[in-house]
Amino acid sequence: MPVHAAATVLPGCPLTFDTAFGQIEWAPEVFANIVQAVSDGPKTLGELFRLPRATQWMSRHVLLLAFHANLLAIEAASPGDPATAQRFNAVTARGVCGGAPYDHLAAARLGSGVRATQTEMLLLDVWLESGGSASVSDLADGLERRLSKLGRDSANAEPRAAARTFVENTMPLWRRLGVIA
């Protein structure tokens, strides 16, 4: 079964996620080799288990927690239609713009969903509203308008940097996973 990247992690940034036994913050070196391995396409579990250990963490523990953290996801035996997922995700993103607490999007290739931040949802709404032709500047402006409507200060998330990351990292990943067509 192919294993895909399910989230974007910027190089050198730690990964923080919750578990039943508390919050874990991983230094980049714990998971960087896995992220690098799946960044150019899916890998089998066998290929991921054979990656060299970069820390004292056992490979199986890192992989299991990477699935738990929604960093990785397994491809569906029968992937769905990305156009259908995009229509669903458009409604979800629009709902987030109205204050709904959604944090997952449909991923047709996985036959399940991927976690998305509120900022990613707002940027997706801007991109969809533009017909998929919004520039980084347009995305940043749209993000600022949506944050303002929600009563959030845009200084918390630098809109231009968030838009650039969305275009350069998130959108290519979401296309591969069938979140967007």
Summarised one tens digit per residue, pLDDT across range 29-47 is 999 999 999 988 999 999 9
- Distance, in Å, from the CA atom of 138 to the CA atom of 129, rounded to the nearest integer, reads 11
What does the mean pLDDT of the chain come to? 93
Better-scored residue on pLDDT, 20 or 116: 116
Cα R_g (the chain), whole angstroms: 17
- Distance, in Å, from the CA atom of 39 to the CA atom of 10, rounded to the nearest integer, reads 12
Q: Which two tokens stand for residue 125?
A: 């709404």
Summarised one tens digit per residue, pLDDT across range 129-163 is 999 999 999 999 999 999 999 998 765 568 999 99
- Distance, in Å, from the CA atom of 35 to the CA atom of 174, rounded to the nearest integer, reads 15
| Side chain identity at residue 5, one-letter code | A
Better-scored residue on pLDDT, 157 or 82: 82
Indicate the pLDDT class of residue 105, thresholds 50, 70 and 90. Answer: very high
Task: Report percent pLDDT > 70 for the chain.
Answer: 98
